[in-house]
């Protein structure tokens, strides 16, 4: 009976020891998980390479060496807390790179020789649209005496006002292959054909101004 009790006690002790070993080994194994090894070649020396997951930094940026190479390890313990399948994004001097990788324990770039070829998209050119001339105004120089070629945007009433301001005698424009003339300051019946042709106004229309 005593021998049986001793064997039972020994068995219990072994079970407890095994449990303690398992409990202490699990955290140790997690801490020792292999990091993802990220690297690349061919970048400008001194450029700073950063990594993040969902905007969370994976640690301090690393500098590109004099030979154009860079290397960083993204471990489970990194601030971005990577997990298998997480998408890792990179930055070059603070600008988002076009390439990403999928984090995995002990992972590395698919192209072992070149690593991750980081590139930053060129900024889109800013398209500046020239402002349209103010309604009721000429675009171009009007000679104080003679004939000038300009453009006009506005209604025929505004054309009459603008023409008077530059002391124009008449203003002509072509529509459908026909030259139509607007006489500045004349009664409306004189300019009926012109006013009808441009009932919706002139939109940057080329005009000949006689002063």
Structurally, how many domains does the chain consist of? 2
Are 47 and 91 part of one and the same domain? yes
- Structural domain contains residue 25: no
**CA dist., res. 211 & res. 208, Å (int):** 10
- Structural domain contains residue 3: no
Mean pLDDT of the chain: 85
pLDDT confidence of residue 124: 75
If you ran DSSP here, which 8-state letter would residue 115 be given?
A: B
Are 145 and 93 part of one and the same domain? no
Q: Work out the percent of the chain whose per-residue pLDDT is above 90.
A: 74
**192 phi/psi in degrees, rounded to 5:** -55, -45
- Structural domain contains residue 199: yes
pTM of the model: 0.49
The parent domain of residue 44 ranges over 36-102
Residues 6+ apart with CB under 8 A from 132: 153, 204
Please determine, for residue 12, whether its predicted confidence score (pLDDT) is greater than 90.
no
**Mean per-residue pLDDT for 90-96?**
96
Could you give the C-alpha distances from 101 to 58, 86, 98, 115, 116, in angstroms and in order? 13, 8, 11, 11, 8
- Structural domain contains residue 95: yes
CB under 8 Å, gap of 24 or more: what pairs does 85-90 form?
86/53, 86/54, 87/53, 87/54, 88/36, 88/38, 88/51, 88/52, 88/53, 88/58, 89/51, 89/52, 89/53, 90/38, 90/49, 90/50, 90/51, 90/52, 90/116, 90/118
| Among the ranges given (15-29, 134-148, 186-200), the one the predictor scored with the smallest mean pLDDT | 15-29
pLDDT confidence of residue 125: 75
């Amino acid at each position: 009976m005593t021998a049986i009790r001793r064997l039972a006690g020994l068995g219990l002790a072994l079970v407890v020891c095994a449990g303690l070993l398992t409990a202490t080994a699990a955290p140790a194994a997690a801490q020792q998980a292999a990091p993802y090894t990220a690297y690349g070649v061919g970048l400008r020396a001194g450029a700073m390479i950063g990594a993040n997951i969902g905007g969370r930094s994976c640690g301090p940026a690393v500098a590109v060496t004099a030979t154009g190479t860079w290397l960083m390890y993204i471990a489970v313990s990194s601030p971005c807390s990577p997990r298998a399948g997480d998408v890792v994004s990179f930055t070059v001097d603070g600008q988002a790179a076009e390439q990403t990788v999928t984090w995995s324990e002990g992972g590395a770039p698919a192209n072992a020789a070149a690593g991750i070829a980081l590139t930053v998209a060129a900024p889109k050119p800013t398209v500046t649209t020239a402002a349209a001339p103010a309604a009721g105004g000429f675009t171009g120089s009007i000679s104080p005496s003679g004939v000038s070629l300009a453009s006009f945007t506005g209604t025929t009433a505004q054309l009459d006002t603008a023409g008077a301001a530059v002391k124009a005698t008449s203003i002509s424009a072509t529509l459908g292959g026909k030259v139509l003339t607007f006489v500045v300051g004349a009664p409306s019946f004189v300019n009926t054909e012109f006013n009808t042709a441009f009932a919706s106004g002139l939109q940057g229309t080329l005009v000949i101004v006689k002063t």
